[in-house]
């Protein structure tokens, strides 16, 4: 770690604290219009897509006209329709440093491309984020990457260990190196983290006395789950000086860390989880605690974010535009398949005051509910079902976290964890009682680990399919 690197990170943090939200918004809007003109001039596929709208480029003069006239992009009309050389800036395919694939959850893949210059910048961005959130310049840090193989990142201000989805490797590192480092950062998805915690408990491994941060990606999680994990790690998820347990949302086509939680956002969400009035203000209606969306921030100089066709509650389809001049595959108004609400700064301030948490939010904030396709009933989202499993920590200890919800058959199949001490028969009644109000009319069936009828897909390398139509 260099002295120059430390100074640069401190300078970035100081500059960020000095820029007002209004100035950031103006800079973001200016960058968006520049990105539109640049993409239209350089990318053949976008030229064809925009021409099909019947409008002229000169009609796009400000953000409102861009949102009204620019086409919406998704996998079908980009990656499935055009070859890569028509989607990218000319000549850039010979300069690639890395390629990141999307999850392929729907059987269709998209790709995020990075040049060597972008890879060097990405390392600096990661180092800045690690210092800003975890103070790695000031504490010897071991970062253990438990994301599936193929997801890698580098940082010069801490030690990085790539173990993929091997809980035994991760625990071996924590056991052998706990005296060598002042803090640890685990990067994983929630379902694999549950497996790691189950294995730690089985081995008698304790996180007590260890400063262990968690960065969770791949899928959303709720506040019951955050409390469950915090309990296992002996941490307070709301304390300023404690370890951080935060969510990070990436999109393979756009980047690994498009949206991220901050301590202020976590505190706001947890207060909304506890307080029905604040929850209703966030969502525009009364909801169960598990329905509180993730409170995410993002860098408005890298991305422009909008909620397309929002409903009366302000939630709409998440569309993201890349603003970087160096983007080899620029995507404008790209639909990610998620549901979002973009929060105006004035409204955010009123929510923060109302929740007695008037912390500064220097970056824009969005509320992300989850995937568009994950609607279970008219009033229930899959994320609520997922988080309800962790209402009772002792019951959650017996479960793996995997389940399959079948809408047509109105069944919820829940898997016990591998070394559960309870029986499937003994858990059926408490599970049905747990979900009686959230899923009226559904029957809950508990399955031993090896007998779970959907278990062959649970390899932690692919996103687990929680919901089917029956």
CA separation for the pair 189, 436 (Å, rounded): 28
**What are the structure tokens assigned to 166, written together?**
């091997």
Beta-carbon count within 10 A of 30 CB = 13
- Cα separation of 410 and 246, whole Å? 33
CA 352, CA 364: separation in Å to the nearest integer? 14
Between CA 233 and CA 214 the distance in angstroms is: 10
The residues that bridge with 446 in the sheet, in sequence order, are 414
pLDDT at site 211: 95
Task: Report the pLDDT value the prediction gives residue 1, as an integer from 0 to 100.
Answer: 46
Residue 222 CA to residue 381 CA, distance in Å, equals 12
Between CA 50 and CA 78 the distance in angstroms is: 12
Dihedral over alpha carbons 358, 363, 369, 371 (to 10 degrees): -170
d(CA 384, CA 29): 35
The whole-model pTM stands at 0.90
Domains annotated for the chain, with CATH where assigned, are 1-134+219-378 (3.40.50.12780), 392-468 (no CATH)
The per-residue pLDDT for 85 is: 93
Instruction: Please say whether the beta carbons of 40 and 47 come within 8 A.
Output: yes
DSSP 105: T
Angle at 31 between CA 360 and CA 219, to 5 degrees: 60
Grouped pLDDT means (10 residues each) for the chain, 470 residues? 53 61 89 97 97 97 97 94 94 81 69 78 80 88 88 83 94 96 95 95 94 92 96 89 89 87 91 90 84 93 95 94 93 96 80 58 89 85 94 96 90 94 95 91 93 74 79
CA distance 139 to 443: 49
Place of tokens 């595959």: 329
pLDDT at residue number 174: 97
């Amino acid at each position: 770690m260099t002295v120059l690197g430390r100074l640069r990170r401190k300078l970035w943090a100081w500059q960020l604290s000095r820029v007002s939200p209004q100035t950031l918004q103006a800079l973001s809007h200016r960058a968006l219009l520049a990105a539109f003109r640049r993409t239209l001039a350089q990318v053949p596929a976008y030229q064809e897509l925009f021409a099909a709208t019947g409008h002229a480029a000169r009609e796009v003069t400000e953000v409102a006209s861009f949102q009204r006239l620019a086409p919406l992009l998704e996998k079908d009309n980009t990656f499935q329709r055009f070859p890569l050389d028509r989607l990218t800036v000319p000549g850039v395919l010979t300069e690639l440093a890395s390629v990141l694939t999307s999850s392929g959850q729907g059987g269709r893949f998209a790709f995020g491309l990075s040049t060597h210059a972008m890879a060097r910048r990405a390392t600096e961005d990661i180092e800045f984020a690690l210092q800003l959130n975890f103070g790695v310049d000031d504490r010897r840090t071991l970062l253990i990457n438990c994301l599936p193989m193929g997801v890698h990142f580098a940082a010069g201000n801490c030690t990085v260990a790539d173990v993929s989805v091997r809980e035994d490797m991760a625990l071996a590192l924590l056991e052998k190196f706990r005296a060598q480092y002042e803090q640890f950062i685990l990067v994983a998805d929630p379902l694999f983290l549950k497996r790691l915690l189950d294995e730690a408990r089985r081995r008698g491994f304790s996180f007590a006395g260890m400063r262990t941060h968690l960065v969770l990606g791949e899928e959303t999680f709720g506040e019951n789950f955050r409390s469950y994990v915090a309990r296992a790690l002996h941490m307070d998820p709301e304390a300023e000086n404690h370890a951080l347990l935060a969510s990070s949302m990436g999109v393979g086509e756009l980047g690994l860390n498009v949206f991220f939680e901050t301590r202020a956002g976590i505190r706001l969400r947890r207060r909304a989880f506890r307080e029905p009035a604040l929850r209703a203000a966030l969502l525009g209606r009364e909801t169960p605690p598990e329905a509180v969306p993730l409170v995410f921030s993002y860098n408005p100089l890298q991305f422009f974010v909008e909620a397309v066709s929002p409903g009366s509650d302000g939630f709409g389809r998440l569309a993201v535009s890349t603003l970087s001049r160096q983007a080899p595959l620029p995507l404008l108004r790209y639909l990610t398949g998620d549901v979002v609400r973009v929060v105006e700064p004035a409204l955010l301030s009123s929510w923060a005051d109302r929740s007695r948490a008037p912390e500064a939010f220097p970056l824009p904030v969005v509320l992300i509910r989850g995937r568009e396709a994950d609607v279970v009933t008219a009033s229930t989202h899959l994320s609520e079902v997922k988080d309800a499993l962790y209402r009772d920590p002792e019951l959650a200890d017996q479960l793996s976290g995997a389940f399959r919800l079948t809408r047509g058959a109105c069944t919820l199949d829940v898997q016990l964890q591998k070394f559960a001490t309870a029986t499937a028969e003994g858990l059926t009644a408490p599970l049905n009682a747990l979900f009686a109000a959230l899923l009226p009319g559904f029957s809950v069936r508990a399955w031993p680990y090896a007998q779970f009828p959907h278990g062959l897909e649970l390899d932690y390398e692919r996103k687990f399919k929680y919901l089917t139509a029956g």
